[in-house]
A and B are shown apart, each in its own frame.
Chain A
Amino acid sequence: MTASASTAASASSLAPIGILDPEGQLLPGAEDPRLEREQLLAMYRGMLRIRVLDERMLALQRQGRIGFVGTATGQEASVVGSAAGLAPSDWIFPGLREGGAALFRGMPLEEYVGQMYCNTYDTAKGRQMCNHFQHQAGNFVSWSSVIGTQLPQAVGAAFAAKLRGERTVCAAYLGDGATSSGGFHCAATFAGVWKAPVVFLIIDNGWAISVPACKQSAAASLALKGKTYGLPSRSIDGNDLFACYVETRAAVERVRAGGAPEILHLKTYRMMGHSSSDDPTRYRDAAEVEAWSKRDPIARAKRYLEGRAWIDDARDAALREELDAEIRGVIKTVEAAAPMALSTLVEDVYAEVPAHLRRQYNAFLESARKHGDARPSDVPFPL
């Protein structure tokens, strides 16, 4: 782990840039970014909130109350540190595990949990499976499930902002697996040629479901990939909240000032399975997981905070309790959601529901009524 933040020398190195060691101490030669107490505590809370939320969501999944969870456990510093490095007006094109960034940007917890329940609290009207977040007010764009497709979209959105003379930067998140996708290749190509204000954030958690990162690329580091596209790239310790924040912020501001688009490679680790449907013991070594558990990003930030006397075990426990209580309260609210209107089956395919869909729906509604699946508020479309 090399020290120091934004120096050219460290940028050219393959070793991830770090600021804190796993004990929460400044690395030799590293500069303390001197974050304000409130800002740092907000980031810590953001990380903890993801941890507690993931635990709660996994429990709900085991109870059969929701369908699917893809946790960010172990990656909280990468998610929150990078999100905190963006301006609120910057756009996020996320992947599967960046929902915590939306929360950090102010996505209401009801909407987050509503999305996990895919019910009427979900702004996407239950159209997506669980764990596919969006938050329009926070410029957090809807993600599909298709790997890498969001990347050229981020370039296009950034290009649009640049054309209008806005100073928006688009953050395009991807995993280590997505660096193998065509979407990454064309996005990096276009970003470089167009000098689009984009920062690619490779959250390298070591695993694409069951395939290790070493089977995605023969490159010594995924950060090397930027070179051939003309994109400055650097590797960062993705479990180091400070490094994630400082380096993302610096890259985003360089890009905002007109610099070339950049790639940040955040080296972290997926502590849980790919999802609630995955059993990682089938393909990975328990010793590897054990080794990474000693590098836990939340524990590391906590140790630093303890050093500053900004948190202690009692306050940390109280914070966890507060976060969990909020989540439990929201779950109660969300579970009492009104049923989804049946017409959402055919709405939002186009701006207006075309005639053939109105007919298909009306025919379906007739049958739904016969079988008791419709409510009085479910009415046919005018033809």
Chain B
Amino acid sequence: MPTLTLIQAVNDALKTVMRQDQRVVVFGEDVGLKGGVFLATEGLTKEFGEQRCFDTPLSEDGIIGAAIGMALNGLLPVAEIQFQDFIFPAFDQIVSEAAKFRYRSGGMYTVPMVIRTPYGGGIKGGLYHSQSGEAYFCHTPGIKVVVPSTPYDAKGLLIAAIQDPDPVLFLEPKRIYRSVKGEVPEGHYTVPLGTTRTVREGNDAVVFAYGAMVSVATIAAEKVAAEQGKQVRVVDLRTLSPLDEDSVLEHAKQTGRVVVLHEAPRFCGYGGEISALIAEHAIEYMEAPIVRVTGFDTPFPNTLEHHYLPDERRVCDALEKVLTF
């Protein structure tokens, strides 16, 4: 089995589905001959031609608006937004249109499409190449939000997303595009949307994380195990919306001590929803208050981004809190 980076797995997923299904088209800014600024679409124009992988004018609302029209008329568009930070001109098309077409038309019109976009900090990108905007989209019924954290999941989830009958926002943690490697099967396979993955076993506490924060959580769990002999479970949420609520509640009940981890700001962030879910349905199982480890409620910094982004020290501190309560 080949060992690929996360970005190579994305590329492999695109090639795999494009070979199988003529309806799949890939487009966005610089995705053609250049192959995308991160090379996610490298080689696609060469293999599939300019009809199926092509550059667009520099307009995110145009990209997503056109993708919706293509999906309405029988294609399976995979649109790239170069950085998630640049998605907001298309917010209207995503929130008002893609997410609502099925509902508002009583199921007569649907838009199976994928929006791929690199997100998250840790690459010295400053305010506008670093943000984690997942909460905006998770707050919008009708669009699914998926975040891989390994090359295997990146390929399997992306293929599942392209085959899904509903619009999917596919957030790629760019900080680990090349730093994580893993075995990735050749050819077609899927990882079902709406399922979590247990990254590390343990019954003393659980950390819920996604994207680049999964490896931060795992490092912290290893450290706690080495230093204190406590076994911390790490759960990768993988599909943020619709969330596998049963799985989250099961993990929370089994461990009784919960840390929720994400890069995005805390206030109205995704961690608040996980915390509320557990508080509503499993409070009686809790041995300690739920603790969130998140970015600050500030714009994304530049010089001090390593302090803004949760690291294993902050996760260890949070685990200390829940384990000793």
Contact bitstring B53-64, A, C-beta under 8 A = 1, else 0: 000110101101
A160 contacts B by Cβ under 8 Å: yes
Q: Are B57 and A189 in contact (CB under 8 A)?
A: yes
Contact bitstring A347-372, B, C-beta under 8 A = 1, else 0: 11111001111000000000000000
Asked whether A160 and B74 contact (CB < 8 A) given A186-B61, A349-B103, the answer is yes
State the Cβ distance, A135 to closest chain B Cβ, in Å: 9
Q: Are B59 and A350 in contact (CB under 8 A)?
A: no
Contact bitstring A133-154, B, C-beta under 8 A = 1, else 0: 0101000011010100101111
Q: Are B245 and A146 in contact (CB under 8 A)?
A: no
B198 contacts A by Cβ under 8 Å: no
Query: How many residues of A sit at the interface, in one of the four size bands?
Result: 35 or more
A157 contacts B by Cβ under 8 Å: yes
Q: Are A190 and B70 in contact (CB under 8 A)?
A: no
Asked whether A189 and B102 contact (CB < 8 A) given A152-B69, A160-B73, the answer is no
Q: Which residues of B contact A185 (CB under 8 A)?
A: 59
B107 contacts A by Cβ under 8 Å: yes
Q: Are A160 and B75 in contact (CB under 8 A)?
A: yes
Q: Are A160 and B65 in contact (CB under 8 A)?
A: no
A175 to B71, CA, bound (A): 25
Asked whether A154 and B69 contact (CB < 8 A) given A144-B100, A189-B62, the answer is yes
B104 CB contact (under 8 Å) in A124, A164, A355: A124
* Interface residue ranges of B78-95 to A (CB < 8 Å): 89, 92-93
Contact bitstring B22-56, A, C-beta under 8 A = 1, else 0: 00010000000000000000000000000100001
Q: Which residues of B contact A146 (CB under 8 A)?
A: 92, 96-97
A182 contacts B by Cβ under 8 Å: yes
Q: Which residues of A contact B25 (CB under 8 A)?
A: 163
State the Cβ distance, B112 to closest chain A Cβ, in Å: 9
B61 CB contact (under 8 Å) in A152, A157, A170, A349: A152
A350 to B141, CA, bound (A): 8
Closest to B164 in A: A351
* Number of B residues with CB within 8 Å of any CB on chain A: 48
Q: Are A134 and B105 in contact (CB under 8 A)?
A: yes
A127 to B100, CA, bound (A): 10
Q: Are A156 and B104 in contact (CB under 8 A)?
A: no
Q: Are B106 and A190 in contact (CB under 8 A)?
A: no
B110 CB contact (under 8 Å) in A122, A132, A351, A355: A351
A93 to B73, CA, bound (A): 12
State the Cβ distance, A55 to closest chain B Cβ, in Å: 27
A157 to B59, CA, bound (A): 17
Q: Are B69 and A186 in contact (CB under 8 A)?
A: no
A187 contacts B by Cβ under 8 Å: yes
B166 contacts A by Cβ under 8 Å: yes
* Interface residue ranges of A279-318 to B (CB < 8 Å): none
A43 to B56, CA, bound (A): 40
Q: Which residues of A contact B57 (CB under 8 A)?
A: 186, 189-190, 193
Q: Are A127 and B104 in contact (CB under 8 A)?
A: yes
A182 CB contact (under 8 Å) in B89, B109, B164: B89
Closest to A135 in B: B108
Asked whether A123 and B65 contact (CB < 8 A) given A149-B92, A156-B70, the answer is no
Q: Which residues of A contact B61 (CB under 8 A)?
A: 152, 182-183, 186
Q: Which residues of A contact B103 (CB under 8 A)?
A: 127, 348-349
B66 contacts A by Cβ under 8 Å: yes
B182 contacts A by Cβ under 8 Å: no
Best-surrounded residue of A136, A182, A344 (most CB of chain B within 10 A):
A182
State the Cβ distance, B56 to closest chain A Cβ, in Å: 7
A155 to B164, CA, bound (A): 23
B165 contacts A by Cβ under 8 Å: yes
Q: Which residues of B contact A128 (CB under 8 A)?
A: 104
Q: Are A122 and B106 in contact (CB under 8 A)?
A: yes
A134 to B68, CA, bound (A): 16
Q: Are A355 and B62 in contact (CB under 8 A)?
A: no
Q: Are A141 and B72 in contact (CB under 8 A)?
A: yes
B70 CB contact (under 8 Å) in A151, A159, A349: A159
A77 contacts B by Cβ under 8 Å: no
A156 CB contact (under 8 Å) in B72, B106, B141: B72
Asked whether A153 and B69 contact (CB < 8 A) given A127-B103, A349-B103, the answer is yes
State the Cβ distance, B231 to closest chain A Cβ, in Å: 29
Q: Which residues of B contact A158 (CB under 8 A)?
A: 69
Asked whether A149 and B109 contact (CB < 8 A) given A155-B69, A156-B67, the answer is no
State the Cβ distance, A303 to closest chain B Cβ, in Å: 40
B121 contacts A by Cβ under 8 Å: no
Q: Can you list 11 contacts pairing A with B, beta carbon distance less than 8 Å?
A: A122-B106, A124-B104, A127-B104, A136-B108, A152-B66, A153-B65, A185-B59, A190-B66, A349-B141, A350-B242, A354-B242
A155-B69, A348-B103, A350-B144 given; name 10 further pairs at CB < 8 Å: A127-B104, A136-B109, A144-B96, A149-B92, A154-B69, A157-B69, A159-B66, A170-B69, A344-B106, A350-B165
Partner-A contacts on B (CB < 8 A): 25, 51, 56-57, 59, 61-62, 64-75, 77, 89, 92-93, 96-97, 100-110, 141-142, 144, 164-166, 194, 242-246
Partner-B contacts on A (CB < 8 A): 91, 93, 122-125, 127-128, 132, 134, 136, 141-142, 144, 146, 149, 151-161, 163-164, 170, 182-183, 185-187, 189-190, 193, 344, 347-351, 354-357
Closest 5 pairs (CB-CB, A-B)? A156-B69, A152-B65, A186-B62, A156-B66, A153-B69
